[in-house]
Amino acid sequence: MTNRILIVEDDISFQNLVQSYFVNKAFEVVCCENGKEAIQALEDGEFQFILTDWKMKVMDGMEFLLKARRLAPCSIIIMMTSFSSVEAALEAMDNGADSFISKPFKMIDLEDLINKIVTKREKSIGLAAEVNTKYTYGIIAKSKVMAQLVQFIGRIQNVKSSVLITGESGSGKEVVARAIHNGTNTKSRPFVAINCAAMPEHLLESELFGHVKGSFTGADKNKKGLFLEADGGVLFLDEIGDMPISLQGKLLRVLQEKEVRPVGANKAIRIDTRVVCATHQDLQKKMDNGEFREDLFFRLNVIPIHIPALRDRQDDIGLLANYFLQKYSKLNDRYFTHISDSGINYLACLHWRGNVRELENYIERAVILSEGPIIEMEDFLLFQNSVERIPPQSIQKNLFQGNPKLEELEKDYILKIYDEVNKSKDECAEILGISKRTLYRKLERYQLGIEE
């Protein structure tokens, strides 16, 4: 399909120059002399690109930019002006421009700028689109370690052996448990989950094994336990490390005998239930302290699975972030296309103590508080919380000699990159993993060659 470009420029000779250049490049070009005409053009059709002047009569470029971004959230918008200043660049990008170019400029430079923005946009959108792919067993990941885990799950799905899943809180243990359940022979069978840390001992025993009427105060009718509810399928015992020691012996007997006796009953009932357990705790340490039965551990740990922390599989962060972006955009009736490269790079630098669960909450907050349609790194910084950055492991000690201030380190690093790319703001921002808007602010702050 022919790319459509909207040129908003009141200098007719310059307008004709730009129009002629892009027509020769096989673009479909629409020209307007002011923002009011351009708004009407946007209401009449879609444009992939919008080039707008800043100083115009009737409606200036900044006012037009604000309205254009709402009407054309996916369009690439570039502000053109002979009134070059950092303040203008910052205001333009704050109002929704993708970039900024100062007159006079060579048309090839404008085309190169457009191509760079398109390339970065396609890379980010490609990552967002990737989450629409049907991932095996519903596990959204592409890191090598998770690919190996998915392959392992495929080998253990259609067997009856117990599984013990370990990993930090929020790392996705229940997702893996459900993936194990979704085998060819068990997908249509029940999957029942319970958190062993969520209820007191006497209620947990009744929930797991059931009870008969009159077996204790309040037992006014028979209750089928979760082992029977999950008969033929999977019973997922989350946080098994928190199960009271007195119940562990009863659970061991059920696993050994393949039968369950409800509280107060005289007869046991045969079951065909596969048990999958999970814990974030160190069960070896709990066994050493007498808080977890060794014989139960060996019965549960027939097939061990360990889920790595999110910070140890950074390749999955961007994919998961865009998945949650789509999920919460739909839930909150918001429109977002993707997370920018700088945003993804920023997320990859965080520690994520709460793992996938913490990332999900983080993206949900961004969807609610950000304007869109693209989430930038600055949007995350606006609501920074206790998420920690990963401590550097390979920075040389001499970098910190004399205990320089953080501001001095940042200034020196920005200057180093800025000089290496011959003061190309696009390349510098890309290497630093920040937006051009943020780079302008930092260059202005440190007075590092801010002139265009």
Please report the pLDDT score of residue 362 as a whole number.
Answer: 92
Q: pLDDT per residue over 135-149, tens digit each?
A: 667 788 888 899 899
Please report the pLDDT score of residue 158 as a whole number.
Answer: 84
Please report the pLDDT score of residue 215 as a whole number.
Answer: 73
pLDDT > 90: percent of the chain: 35
| Structural tokens at position 92 | 């333009």
Domains 4-105 and 397-446 share a fold: no
Residue with tokens 């404008």: 110
The pLDDT of 369-377, averaged and rounded, is 81
- What's the CATH architecture for 4-105? 3-Layer(aba) Sandwich (3.40)
Please report the pLDDT score of residue 371 as a whole number.
Answer: 77
Please report the pLDDT score of residue 180 as a whole number.
Answer: 92
- What is this structure's pTM? 0.63
- For 362, other C-beta atoms within 10 Å of its C-beta total 19
pLDDT of residue 254 exceeding 90, the answer is yes
Q: pLDDT per residue over 114-142, tens digit each?
A: 888 887 776 655 555 555 555 667 788 88
Please report the pLDDT score of residue 388 as a whole number.
Answer: 61
Q: Is residue 363 packed enough to be buried (19+ CB in 10 Å), middle (13-18) or exposed (0-12)? A: buried
Q: Could you tell me the pLDDT band of residue 267, with boundaries at 50, 70 and 90?
A: confident
Q: Whose CA is closest to 230, among 186, 262, 267?
A: 186
- Domain positions in the chain: 4-105, 144-310, 397-446
Q: Could you tell me the pLDDT band of residue 280, with boundaries at 50, 70 and 90?
A: very high
Average pLDDT over the chain reads: 83
165-174, 190-199, 244-253, 335-344: which has the minimum mean pLDDT?
A: 335-344
pLDDT of residue 255 exceeding 90, the answer is yes
Please report the pLDDT score of residue 132 as a whole number.
Answer: 54
Q: Could you tell me the pLDDT band of residue 102, with boundaries at 50, 70 and 90?
A: confident
pLDDT of residue 392 exceeding 60, the answer is no
The pLDDT of 296-309, averaged and rounded, is 95
Please report the pLDDT score of residue 394 as a whole number.
Answer: 34
CATH superfamily of 144-310: P-loop containing nucleotide triphosphate hydrolases (3.40.50.300)
Q: pLDDT per residue over 330-342, tens digit each?
A: 888 888 888 887 7
Residue with tokens 């059920």: 254
pLDDT of residue 391 exceeding 60, the answer is no
Question: Rounded CA gap, 305 and 115, in Å?
Answer: 45
Please report the pLDDT score of residue 308 as a whole number.
Answer: 94
132-141, 159-168, 297-306: which has the minimum mean pLDDT?
A: 132-141
Please report the pLDDT score of residue 177 as a whole number.
Answer: 94
3-state secondary structure the chain: CCCEEEEECCCHHHHHHHHHHHHCCCCEEEEECCHHHHHHHHHHCCCCEEEEECCCCCCCHHHHHHHHHHHCCCCEEEEEECCCCHHHHHHHHHCCCCEEEECCCCHHHHHHHHHHHHHHHHHHHHHHHHCCCCCHHHCCCCCHHHHHHHHHHHHHCCCCCCEEEECCCCCCHHHHHHHHHCCCCCCCCCEEEEECCCCCHHHHHHHHHEECCCCCCCCCCCEECHHHHCCCCEEEEECHHHCCHHHHHHHHHHHHHCEECCECCCCCEECCCEEEEEECCCHHHHHHCCCCCHHHHHHHCCEEEECCCHHHCHHHHHHHHHHHHHHHHHHCCCCCCEECHHHHHHHHCECCCCHHHHHHHHHHHHHHHCCCCEECHHHHHCCCCCCCECCCCCCCHHHHCCCCCHHHHHHHHHHHHHHHCCCCHHHHHHHHCCCHHHHHHHHHHHCCCCCC
The pLDDT of 189-213, averaged and rounded, is 88
Please report the pLDDT score of residue 60 as a whole number.
Answer: 77
The pLDDT of 418-433, averaged and rounded, is 79
Q: Could you tell me the pLDDT band of residue 86, with boundaries at 50, 70 and 90?
A: low
Tell me the CATH class for 397-446: mainly alpha
**Do residues 68 and 61 touch, judged by C-beta distance below 8 A?**
no
Please report the pLDDT score of residue 64 as a whole number.
Answer: 87
Q: Could you tell me the pLDDT band of residue 396, with boundaries at 50, 70 and 90?
A: very low
